Amino acid sequence: MNTISATNKTTILKKLLKFFLPILIIPIIVVVFFYHYYINTLITKGIINQSKNTIERISKSQDIQKHLKVSQDISLPNISIIDSEAKVILTNILYDQHIDIIKKYIIDVTNTKDVKLYHNKANKFMIKPIVENNKVTAFIIINYKNNIDKRLATTSQTLTFILVIVILTFFISIIFTLLFAVQITTPIKELINGIEIISKGDKTHKIEVSTNDEINILVNSFNDMINKINNHQKDIEVLNNNLTHRVKKEVEENRKKDQQLIQQSRLAQMGEMISMIAHQWRQPLAAISSTSTSISLKAQLNKLDNDLAIRLSNKISDYSLHLSSTIDDFREFFRTNKEKRDITYNELIQSVLSIVETSILNKNININKNINCNDTLSTYPNEVKQVILNIIKNAEDILLEKNIQNPTITIETKCGELVIRDNAGGIPNDIIDKVFDPYFSTKTEKDGTGLGLYMSKTIIEKHCGGELTVANNDEGAVFTIKLRDNDD
């Protein structure tokens, strides 16, 4: 199981900060931007408009006295009126140096007869000529710089206050966010630690958290789940134990069954063997019998000299040796190999044929050998020989049963593969899948056990780790034994 890494532990905290920071930073940016824009644009524009309105109102009164009255009514401290000679009629703000500056602009204003704005670093003026009877009689001047400065001062005070509040809110929010995050992450960390302990194997560990909220509910559900998993695991362990016990029992029973089958098939094979031994022995026994008859006849006719007696008795002893070696072959055949041995395909085939060939040839069945591989392979020779013998005997049975013309069994080897085929017409398609099943036999007359091919497949595939398959070709059945040449 994966352990929870330290980086994961801080994820919630990070996420909260990521989420809250933009929310807090955005108002600050908005305030700063607004502050800047307001100061530079809005206030200036507003004051200019306001001053223009004032100057228009004053200029609309009909004569100088009225202008003065209107301007006094408005009681603006920054309004001045000078006559066409630049003599000051009314002023709240104009000083001599201002008058000098204004004089420079008067001619310009006179030409346009409109409100003109004059900005420099120290002053911001607005001048409008008063025209009476098509003649400029005076100029109304508003110096609105003070207005702007004052408004800026108050606005900037307000905005600074707002900014301070926003920044304070920002920091307070961060502190609250952190506190909130810590409140969430602490029980989650406790949960993660508990999960780590459980994942390391302590399934009895109970996770405790000190909160009384959804996380507590989550932890309780988790504890419940672990309990259930533990119970299920115990059930599974019990089931597993039962299953292992049953599998062991079944395997043991199967082994016994297999042993019985092997025994049964051995007995059947021994029956076959006895008939083969009979075939093998018939000729040497006849020879022994005729030699001893000849000894007895010669003795009766007094024609048995020493030389002849020795020659004939040597002959009998040779035949007896032959009989004895045949018995050795058979005995060797039934001995099971406990260990693998190196052997060539040729040796395997020769050894089977030495037992079976005479009886097959006596039944006028041809045996073709086609050995194409002289490599050795490491295997259990006697087991493989039994398989070869089973397949050859089956071919013999079917060739005789069907009374095939020119009956032939062909044994062919390529490296890693041994093929035994016959020309008896093949295995019918409806039973070809069953021939390796135990007790499957079509040999009613001969009383077949149906164990030959089953045992053969078991030997090749389970014991020797190879493969035994069957198929039909145009002439008959083709059995292929593939043996692996390895030492496992």
Ligand X SMILES: Nc1ncnc2c1ncn2[C@@H]1O[C@H](COP(=O)(O)OP(=O)(O)OP(=O)(O)O)[C@@H](O)[C@H]1O
The span from the CA of 437 to the CA of 268, in Å, is: 17
The candidate with the shortest Cα–Cα distance to 315, out of 298, 328, 307, is 307
Q: Which is nearer to Mg ion, 129 or 452 (CB)?
A: 452
Q: Which is nearer to Mg ion, 407 or 452 (CB)?
A: 452
Q: Two tokens at 54?
A: 């004032």
CA angle 320, 322, 357 (to 5 degrees): 140
| Residue 88 one-letter amino acid | V
> In the set 91, 211, 441, 480, which binds ligand X (CB under 6 A)?
441
Q: Does residue 442 touch ligand X according to CB under 6 A?
A: yes
| Residue 262 one-letter amino acid | I
Q: Which is nearer to ligand X, 81 or 420 (CB)?
A: 420
Q: Does residue 412 touch ligand X according to CB under 6 A?
A: no
Q: What phi and psi values does residue 343 have, to the nearest 5 degrees?
A: -155, 150
Binding range to ligand X, per CB under 6 A, among 37-45, 136-144, 161-169, 451-459: 451-459
Smallest separation (angstroms) from ligand X to the CB of 270: 12
The span from the CA of 134 to the CA of 354, in Å, is: 152
Q: Which is nearer to ligand X, 207 or 392 (CB)?
A: 392
> In the set 388, 435, 460, 464, which binds ligand X (CB under 6 A)?
435
427 binds, among ligand X, Mg ion, none (CB under 5 to 8 A by kind): ligand X
Smallest separation (angstroms) from Mg ion to the CB of 334: 17
Binding range to ligand X, per CB under 6 A, among 120-128, 143-151, 159-167, 448-456: 448-456
349 binds, among ligand X, Mg ion, none (CB under 5 to 8 A by kind): none
Contact characters 336-375, ligand X, x per CB under 6 A? ----------------------------------------
Strand order in the sheet with 417-422: 366-371, 408-414, 417-422, 477-482, 467-472
* Residue 470 CB neighbour total at 10 angstroms: 19
Q: Which is nearer to Mg ion, 139 or 454 (CB)?
A: 454
Contact characters 404-443, Mg ion, x per CB under 5 A? ----------------------------------------
Smallest separation (angstroms) from Mg ion to the CB of 441: 7
Enumerate residues 259-298 that contact Mg ion by CB under 5 A: none
> Could you identify the residue written with the tokens 């100057």?
55
Smallest separation (angstroms) from Mg ion to the CB of 452: 3
Q: What phi and psi values does residue 420 have, to the nearest 5 degrees?
A: -125, 120
Q: Which is nearer to Mg ion, 33 or 439 (CB)?
A: 439
Q: Does residue 449 touch ligand X according to CB under 6 A?
A: yes
> In the set 194, 381, 407, 452, which binds ligand X (CB under 6 A)?
452
Q: Residue of minimal CB distance from Mg ion?
A: 452
Q: Two tokens at 83?
A: 């006559």
Between 345-362 and 214-300, two packed helices, what is the crossing angle to 10 degrees? Answer: 50
Smallest separation (angstroms) from Mg ion to the CB of 232: 51
Binding range to ligand X, per CB under 6 A, among 116-124, 170-178, 179-187, 452-460: 452-460
Q: Which is nearer to Mg ion, 77 or 271 (CB)?
A: 271
Smallest separation (angstroms) from ligand X to the CB of 335: 21
Enumerate residues 343-402 that contact Mg ion by CB under 5 A: 394
Q: Does residue 477 touch ligand X according to CB under 6 A?
A: yes
Q: Does residue 118 touch ligand X according to CB under 6 A?
A: no
Q: Does residue 476 touch Mg ion according to CB under 5 A?
A: no
The span from the CA of 390 to the CA of 418, in Å, is: 14
The span from the CA of 418 to the CA of 372, in Å, is: 10
Q: Which is nearer to ligand X, 407 or 452 (CB)?
A: 452
> In the set 71, 394, 423, 458, which binds ligand X (CB under 6 A)?
394
105 binds, among Mg ion, ligand X, none (CB under 5 to 8 A by kind): none
Q: Does residue 392 touch ligand X according to CB under 6 A?
A: no
Q: How many residues bind ligand X (CB under 6 A)?
A: 21
463 binds, among Mg ion, ligand X, none (CB under 5 to 8 A by kind): none
Smallest separation (angstroms) from ligand X to the CB of 430: 11
Question: What are the residues binding ligand X (CB under 6 A)?
Answer: 268, 390, 394-395, 398, 422, 424, 427, 435, 440-443, 448-454, 477
Question: What are the residues binding Mg ion (CB under 5 A)?
Answer: 394, 452
